Structure 1
Protein backbone atom coordinates (compact mmCIF):
# COMPACT_ATOMS: atom_id res chain seq x y z
CA UNK A 1 0.00 0.00 0.00
CA UNK A 2 1.54 3.34 -0.95
CA UNK A 3 1.85 6.12 1.63
CA UNK A 4 -0.52 8.48 -0.20
CA UNK A 5 -3.31 5.87 -0.25
CA UNK A 6 -2.74 5.03 3.43
CA UNK A 7 -2.75 8.72 4.43
CA UNK A 8 -5.98 9.30 2.45
CA UNK A 9 -7.58 6.29 4.18
CA UNK A 10 -6.56 7.55 7.65
CA UNK A 11 -7.81 11.08 6.96
CA UNK A 12 -11.13 9.79 5.53
CA UNK A 13 -11.69 7.45 8.48
CA UNK A 14 -10.85 10.20 10.98
CA UNK A 15 -13.23 12.63 9.27
CA UNK A 16 -16.04 10.03 9.28
CA UNK A 17 -15.58 9.23 12.96
CA UNK A 18 -15.24 12.86 14.01
CA UNK A 19 -18.46 13.56 12.06
CA UNK A 20 -20.29 11.21 14.41
CA UNK A 21 -18.68 12.76 17.44
CA UNK A 22 -19.33 16.31 16.30
CA UNK A 23 -23.06 15.58 16.21
CA UNK A 24 -22.96 14.66 19.89
CA UNK A 25 -23.50 17.27 22.53
CA UNK A 26 -24.90 17.24 26.06
CA UNK A 27 -28.42 16.62 24.79
CA UNK A 28 -27.78 14.22 21.90
CA UNK A 29 -25.49 11.46 20.69
CA UNK A 30 -24.26 10.57 17.21
CA UNK A 31 -24.95 6.98 16.17
CA UNK A 32 -25.09 4.85 13.04
CA UNK A 33 -28.31 3.99 11.24
CA UNK A 34 -29.38 0.97 9.20
CA UNK A 35 -32.40 0.07 7.07
CA UNK A 36 -33.92 -3.43 7.16
CA UNK A 37 -36.57 -3.84 4.47
CA UNK A 38 -38.86 -6.85 5.00
CA UNK A 39 -41.30 -5.67 2.30
CA UNK A 40 -40.12 -7.16 -0.99
CA UNK A 41 -42.67 -5.15 -3.00
CA UNK A 42 -40.86 -1.82 -2.43
CA UNK A 43 -37.36 -0.39 -2.22
CA UNK A 44 -36.56 1.96 0.64
CA UNK A 45 -34.38 4.79 -0.66
CA UNK A 46 -33.95 6.86 2.52
CA UNK A 47 -35.14 6.81 6.12
CA UNK A 48 -34.85 9.44 8.85
CA UNK A 49 -35.79 10.14 12.42
CA UNK A 50 -36.45 13.82 13.14
CA UNK A 51 -34.62 14.70 9.92
CA UNK A 52 -31.47 12.74 10.72
CA UNK A 53 -31.20 9.74 8.44
CA UNK A 54 -29.53 7.21 6.19
CA UNK A 55 -29.92 5.72 2.73
CA UNK A 56 -31.76 2.46 2.25
CA UNK A 57 -28.65 0.53 1.23
CA UNK A 58 -28.90 -1.83 4.20
CA UNK A 59 -25.50 -1.36 5.83
CA UNK A 60 -24.61 0.77 8.83
CA UNK A 61 -24.15 4.43 7.94
CA UNK A 62 -22.86 7.25 10.06
CA UNK A 63 -24.27 9.49 11.40
CA UNK A 64 -27.58 10.20 12.99
CA UNK A 65 -28.42 12.12 16.12
CA UNK A 66 -30.76 11.00 18.90
CA UNK A 67 -31.37 12.26 22.44
CA UNK A 68 -28.63 11.03 24.80
CA UNK A 69 -31.18 9.68 27.28
CA UNK A 70 -34.62 8.23 26.63
CA UNK A 71 -37.53 9.71 28.60
CA UNK A 72 -41.14 8.47 28.75
CA UNK A 73 -43.47 10.19 26.31
CA UNK A 74 -40.79 11.03 23.73
CA UNK A 75 -41.98 11.06 20.12
CA UNK A 76 -40.18 11.40 16.80
CA UNK A 77 -41.01 12.04 13.16
CA UNK A 78 -40.23 8.90 11.18
CA UNK A 79 -39.85 9.72 7.46
CA UNK A 80 -38.94 7.55 4.51
CA UNK A 81 -38.87 7.60 0.75
CA UNK A 82 -39.84 4.44 -1.09
CA UNK A 83 -39.83 3.22 -4.65
CA UNK A 84 -43.23 1.50 -4.91
CA UNK A 85 -42.39 -0.26 -8.19
CA UNK A 86 -38.70 -1.19 -8.30
CA UNK A 87 -37.47 -1.72 -11.84
CA UNK A 88 -40.84 -0.95 -13.49
CA UNK A 89 -42.47 2.38 -14.31
CA UNK A 90 -46.18 3.00 -13.69
CA UNK A 91 -46.79 2.45 -17.43
CA UNK A 92 -45.30 -1.05 -17.10
CA UNK A 93 -42.04 -0.31 -18.92
CA UNK A 94 -39.02 -2.05 -17.43
CA UNK A 95 -35.74 -0.26 -16.82
CA UNK A 96 -33.69 -0.12 -20.04
CA UNK A 97 -30.28 -1.71 -20.10
CA UNK A 98 -27.18 0.42 -19.73
CA UNK A 99 -24.85 -0.59 -22.56
CA UNK A 100 -21.35 -0.84 -21.05
CA UNK A 101 -22.68 1.01 -17.97
CA UNK A 102 -23.23 4.21 -19.97
CA UNK A 103 -26.45 6.15 -19.44
CA UNK A 104 -28.47 6.77 -22.57
CA UNK A 105 -31.15 9.37 -23.29
CA UNK A 106 -33.73 6.54 -23.13
CA UNK A 107 -32.47 5.50 -19.69
CA UNK A 108 -32.53 9.13 -18.43
CA UNK A 109 -36.16 9.57 -19.62
CA UNK A 110 -37.11 6.29 -17.95
CA UNK A 111 -35.43 7.35 -14.67
CA UNK A 112 -37.13 10.77 -14.69
CA UNK A 113 -40.50 9.06 -15.03
CA UNK A 114 -39.55 6.45 -12.44
CA UNK A 115 -38.33 8.94 -9.81
CA UNK A 116 -41.59 10.91 -10.17
CA UNK A 117 -43.29 7.76 -8.85
CA UNK A 118 -41.31 7.74 -5.56
CA UNK A 119 -43.45 8.20 -2.44
CA UNK A 120 -42.47 10.20 0.62
CA UNK A 121 -44.01 8.85 3.80
CA UNK A 122 -43.98 10.08 7.39
CA UNK A 123 -45.59 9.48 10.72
CA UNK A 124 -45.09 10.53 14.30
CA UNK A 125 -44.14 7.58 16.48
CA UNK A 126 -43.49 7.08 20.17
CA UNK A 127 -39.72 6.84 20.51
CA UNK A 128 -39.07 3.29 21.73
CA UNK A 129 -37.30 2.95 25.05
CA UNK A 130 -33.55 2.55 24.89
CA UNK A 131 -30.71 2.26 27.36
CA UNK A 132 -27.53 1.21 25.62
CA UNK A 133 -27.98 1.83 21.92
CA UNK A 134 -26.28 0.15 18.98
CA UNK A 135 -27.68 2.68 16.52
CA UNK A 136 -31.02 3.23 14.86
CA UNK A 137 -32.44 0.21 13.03
CA UNK A 138 -35.28 1.19 10.71
CA UNK A 139 -37.47 -1.84 10.01
CA UNK A 140 -39.91 -1.66 7.10
CA UNK A 141 -42.70 -4.22 7.11
CA UNK A 142 -45.44 -4.68 4.47
CA UNK A 143 -48.38 -2.26 4.41
CA UNK A 144 -46.24 0.86 5.05
CA UNK A 145 -45.62 -0.34 8.61
CA UNK A 146 -42.34 1.27 9.65
CA UNK A 147 -40.67 0.82 13.03
CA UNK A 148 -37.43 1.82 14.73
CA UNK A 149 -35.30 -0.09 17.21
CA UNK A 150 -32.80 1.83 19.31
CA UNK A 151 -31.97 -0.45 22.24
CA UNK A 152 -29.10 -2.97 21.82
CA UNK A 153 -30.82 -5.69 23.83
CA UNK A 154 -34.06 -5.34 21.85
CA UNK A 155 -32.20 -5.49 18.53
CA UNK A 156 -30.24 -8.52 19.67
CA UNK A 157 -33.38 -10.37 20.85
CA UNK A 158 -35.18 -9.64 17.60
CA UNK A 159 -32.43 -10.48 15.09
CA UNK A 160 -30.07 -13.01 16.70
CA UNK A 161 -32.10 -16.17 15.97
CA UNK A 162 -33.70 -15.14 12.68
CA UNK A 163 -33.39 -17.87 10.05
CA UNK A 164 -31.54 -17.17 6.84
CA UNK A 165 -32.82 -17.41 3.29
CA UNK A 166 -36.43 -17.10 2.22
CA UNK A 167 -37.78 -17.56 5.78
CA UNK A 168 -35.90 -14.56 7.24
CA UNK A 169 -38.31 -11.72 6.48
CA UNK A 170 -41.58 -13.61 7.02
CA UNK A 171 -40.26 -14.51 10.48
CA UNK A 172 -39.19 -10.92 11.15
CA UNK A 173 -42.68 -9.71 10.16
CA UNK A 174 -44.24 -12.30 12.51
CA UNK A 175 -41.95 -11.39 15.44
CA UNK A 176 -42.73 -7.69 15.04
CA UNK A 177 -46.51 -8.29 14.84
CA UNK A 178 -46.75 -7.00 11.28
CA UNK A 179 -49.13 -8.08 8.54
CA UNK A 180 -47.95 -10.18 5.61
CA UNK A 181 -50.95 -9.18 3.45
CA UNK A 182 -52.24 -5.61 3.15
CA UNK A 183 -55.93 -4.80 2.89
Structure 2
Protein backbone atom coordinates (compact mmCIF):
# COMPACT_ATOMS: atom_id res chain seq x y z
CA UNK A 1 0.00 0.00 0.00
CA UNK A 2 1.47 3.40 -0.92
CA UNK A 3 2.59 5.51 2.03
CA UNK A 4 0.09 8.31 1.27
CA UNK A 5 -2.87 5.88 1.11
CA UNK A 6 -1.74 4.23 4.35
CA UNK A 7 -1.69 7.64 6.04
CA UNK A 8 -5.22 8.43 4.78
CA UNK A 9 -6.50 5.08 6.07
CA UNK A 10 -4.92 5.75 9.48
CA UNK A 11 -6.51 9.21 9.66
CA UNK A 12 -9.89 7.81 8.64
CA UNK A 13 -9.56 5.11 11.28
CA UNK A 14 -8.65 7.67 13.97
CA UNK A 15 -11.61 9.88 13.00
CA UNK A 16 -13.95 6.87 13.10
CA UNK A 17 -12.69 5.90 16.57
CA UNK A 18 -13.04 9.49 17.84
CA UNK A 19 -16.62 9.71 16.57
CA UNK A 20 -17.44 6.33 18.09
CA UNK A 21 -15.96 7.28 21.49
CA UNK A 22 -17.73 10.65 21.53
CA UNK A 23 -21.02 8.83 20.92
CA UNK A 24 -20.45 6.89 24.13
CA UNK A 25 -20.12 10.07 26.16
CA UNK A 26 -23.21 11.92 24.93
CA UNK A 27 -24.39 14.90 26.93
CA UNK A 28 -27.35 14.32 29.25
CA UNK A 29 -30.76 15.20 27.78
CA UNK A 30 -32.09 18.72 28.26
CA UNK A 31 -35.66 17.49 28.86
CA UNK A 32 -37.08 14.41 30.53
CA UNK A 33 -40.47 12.74 30.14
CA UNK A 34 -42.20 13.35 33.46
CA UNK A 35 -45.28 11.50 34.78
CA UNK A 36 -48.34 13.62 35.61
CA UNK A 37 -50.47 13.10 38.73
CA UNK A 38 -53.57 15.04 39.77
CA UNK A 39 -55.07 16.04 43.12
CA UNK A 40 -58.59 17.45 43.42
CA UNK A 41 -59.25 19.62 46.47
CA UNK A 42 -62.78 20.54 45.26
CA UNK A 43 -66.31 19.15 45.21
CA UNK A 44 -66.40 19.08 41.39
CA UNK A 45 -65.17 16.18 39.28
CA UNK A 46 -62.16 16.77 37.05
CA UNK A 47 -63.28 15.03 33.86
CA UNK A 48 -59.93 15.49 32.13
CA UNK A 49 -56.90 17.74 32.22
CA UNK A 50 -53.71 18.34 30.27
CA UNK A 51 -50.29 19.81 31.01
CA UNK A 52 -48.75 21.44 27.93
CA UNK A 53 -51.12 19.26 25.91
CA UNK A 54 -50.09 15.98 27.60
CA UNK A 55 -53.03 14.12 29.11
CA UNK A 56 -53.77 13.69 32.77
CA UNK A 57 -56.33 11.36 34.32
CA UNK A 58 -59.88 12.03 35.46
CA UNK A 59 -60.91 11.85 39.10
CA UNK A 60 -63.82 12.62 41.36
CA UNK A 61 -64.26 15.20 44.08
CA UNK A 62 -61.72 15.33 46.92
CA UNK A 63 -59.50 12.66 45.39
CA UNK A 64 -56.01 12.47 44.08
CA UNK A 65 -52.83 10.57 43.69
CA UNK A 66 -52.40 6.96 42.81
CA UNK A 67 -52.97 7.43 39.09
CA UNK A 68 -50.09 8.75 37.03
CA UNK A 69 -50.26 9.30 33.31
CA UNK A 70 -47.38 9.82 30.94
CA UNK A 71 -45.83 12.28 30.24
CA UNK A 72 -45.01 15.95 30.00
CA UNK A 73 -41.54 17.02 28.91
CA UNK A 74 -39.76 19.12 31.56
CA UNK A 75 -36.23 20.54 31.54
CA UNK A 76 -33.82 18.57 33.70
CA UNK A 77 -32.76 21.82 35.38
CA UNK A 78 -35.19 24.42 36.69
CA UNK A 79 -34.81 28.00 35.52
CA UNK A 80 -36.71 31.17 36.49
CA UNK A 81 -39.86 31.85 34.48
CA UNK A 82 -40.47 28.20 33.63
CA UNK A 83 -44.23 27.75 33.14
CA UNK A 84 -46.72 25.06 32.17
CA UNK A 85 -50.19 25.39 30.67
CA UNK A 86 -52.91 23.48 32.50
CA UNK A 87 -56.28 22.97 30.79
CA UNK A 88 -59.14 21.09 32.41
CA UNK A 89 -62.82 20.27 32.23
CA UNK A 90 -64.88 19.95 35.38
CA UNK A 91 -68.32 18.70 36.26
CA UNK A 92 -69.79 20.90 39.00
CA UNK A 93 -72.46 18.26 39.81
CA UNK A 94 -70.63 14.92 39.58
CA UNK A 95 -73.34 12.95 41.42
CA UNK A 96 -76.32 14.46 39.59
CA UNK A 97 -77.09 11.36 37.55
CA UNK A 98 -77.81 9.22 40.59
CA UNK A 99 -81.11 11.11 41.03
CA UNK A 100 -82.31 10.83 37.44
CA UNK A 101 -85.53 8.79 37.26
CA UNK A 102 -84.79 7.43 33.76
CA UNK A 103 -83.47 3.88 33.40
CA UNK A 104 -79.67 3.98 33.04
CA UNK A 105 -78.51 4.21 29.40
CA UNK A 106 -82.05 4.52 28.03
CA UNK A 107 -82.73 7.17 25.39
CA UNK A 108 -84.25 9.43 28.07
CA UNK A 109 -81.20 8.90 30.32
CA UNK A 110 -78.84 9.70 27.40
CA UNK A 111 -80.79 12.89 26.74
CA UNK A 112 -80.47 13.86 30.43
CA UNK A 113 -76.73 13.09 30.27
CA UNK A 114 -76.34 15.33 27.21
CA UNK A 115 -78.14 18.13 29.08
CA UNK A 116 -75.92 17.54 32.13
CA UNK A 117 -72.79 17.89 29.94
CA UNK A 118 -73.84 21.41 28.94
CA UNK A 119 -73.00 22.45 32.52
CA UNK A 120 -69.38 21.27 32.32
CA UNK A 121 -66.92 24.14 32.51
CA UNK A 122 -63.59 24.49 30.72
CA UNK A 123 -60.58 26.23 32.23
CA UNK A 124 -57.02 27.19 31.40
CA UNK A 125 -54.22 28.42 33.64
CA UNK A 126 -50.59 29.25 33.02
CA UNK A 127 -48.71 28.20 36.14
CA UNK A 128 -45.12 29.02 37.03
CA UNK A 129 -43.11 26.04 38.21
CA UNK A 130 -41.57 26.39 41.63
CA UNK A 131 -37.83 25.70 41.86
CA UNK A 132 -36.95 22.02 41.70
CA UNK A 133 -33.94 19.74 41.80
CA UNK A 134 -34.41 16.02 41.29
CA UNK A 135 -38.04 15.13 40.83
CA UNK A 136 -40.25 12.15 40.20
CA UNK A 137 -43.50 13.55 38.84
CA UNK A 138 -45.41 16.73 38.10
CA UNK A 139 -48.29 16.95 40.56
CA UNK A 140 -51.22 19.18 39.56
CA UNK A 141 -53.45 20.40 42.40
CA UNK A 142 -56.94 21.74 41.66
CA UNK A 143 -58.21 24.06 44.40
CA UNK A 144 -61.53 25.87 44.91
CA UNK A 145 -62.13 28.96 42.75
CA UNK A 146 -60.26 27.36 39.82
CA UNK A 147 -56.85 27.91 41.41
CA UNK A 148 -54.22 25.47 40.15
CA UNK A 149 -50.79 24.82 41.66
CA UNK A 150 -48.11 22.40 40.56
CA UNK A 151 -45.35 20.64 42.46
CA UNK A 152 -42.30 18.82 41.15
CA UNK A 153 -40.75 16.70 43.84
CA UNK A 154 -39.60 13.25 44.86
CA UNK A 155 -41.79 13.65 47.95
CA UNK A 156 -45.45 12.70 47.72
CA UNK A 157 -48.64 14.29 48.97
CA UNK A 158 -48.94 13.95 52.73
CA UNK A 159 -45.21 13.66 53.41
CA UNK A 160 -43.46 16.35 55.46
CA UNK A 161 -41.90 18.97 53.20
CA UNK A 162 -44.30 18.39 50.31
CA UNK A 163 -45.31 21.82 48.97
CA UNK A 164 -49.11 21.41 48.74
CA UNK A 165 -50.31 19.33 51.68
CA UNK A 166 -53.61 21.20 51.89
CA UNK A 167 -56.53 18.85 52.70
CA UNK A 168 -58.30 17.23 49.76
CA UNK A 169 -61.68 18.03 51.32
CA UNK A 170 -61.33 21.82 51.41
CA UNK A 171 -64.17 24.13 52.34
CA UNK A 172 -65.25 26.05 49.27
CA UNK A 173 -66.24 29.72 49.41
CA UNK A 174 -69.65 30.81 48.16
CA UNK A 175 -67.97 33.47 46.00
CA UNK A 176 -64.48 33.60 44.55
CA UNK A 177 -62.20 36.63 44.52
CA UNK A 178 -60.16 35.58 41.48
CA UNK A 179 -62.94 35.53 38.90
TM range (shorter): 0.5 to 0.7
Runs of 4 or more consecutive aligned structure 1 residues displaced over 6 Å after TM superposition: none
Tell me the residue number matched to 2:74.
67
Tell me the residue number matched to 1:169.
168
The higher radius of gyration belongs to 2
Which is richer in helix?
Answer: 1
Q: 1:61 to 1:109 in 2, by over 3 A?
A: same
Structure 1 residue 182 displacement after superposition = 4.4
TM-score by length of 2: 0.65
In the alignment, is the contact (CA less than 8 A) between 1:32 and 1:60 conserved in 2?
Answer: no
- Describe the superposition over 1:141-168 as per-residue Cα deviations: whole angstroms up to 9, x where unpaired: 11111111112247543569x6xxxx94
Unaligned runs of 5+ in 2: 1-27
In the alignment, is the contact (CA less than 8 A) between 1:46 and 1:56 conserved in 2?
Answer: yes
Tell me the residue number matched to 1:146.
148
TM-score by length of 1: 0.63
Structure 1 residue 78 displacement after superposition = 1.4
Unaligned runs of 5+ in 1: 1-24, 174-178
Secondary structure of the structure 1 residue equivalent to 2:145: coil
Secondary structure of the structure 2 residue equivalent to 1:129: coil
**RMSD of aligned Cα (Å):** 3.0
- Describe the superposition over 1:75-116 as per-residue Cα deviations: whole angstroms up to 9, x where unpaired: 121111111122338xxx9445655xxx21122111111122
Equivalent-residue separation in structure 2 for 1:152 and 1:68 (angstroms): 16
Q: 1:123 to 1:68 in 2, by over 3 A?
A: same
Q: 1:117 to 1:49 in 2, by over 3 A?
A: same
Equivalent-residue separation in structure 2 for 1:117 and 1:71 (angstroms): 39
Structure 1 residue 53 displacement after superposition = 2.3
Secondary structure of the structure 2 residue equivalent to 1:71: coil
In the alignment, is the contact (CA less than 8 A) between 1:54 and 1:61 conserved in 2?
Answer: yes
**Count of residue pairs brought into register by the alignment:** 140
Matches within 5 A, 1:91-110: 94-96=99-101, 103-110=105-112
Equivalent-residue separation in structure 2 for 1:95 and 1:49 (angstroms): 34
Matches within 5 A, 1:1-183: 26-40=29-43, 42-57=44-59, 58=64, 59-69=66-76, 70-88=78-96, 94-96=99-101, 103-153=105-155, 155=157, 156-157=159-160, 168-170=167-169, 180-183=172-175
Structure 1 residue 126 displacement after superposition = 0.9
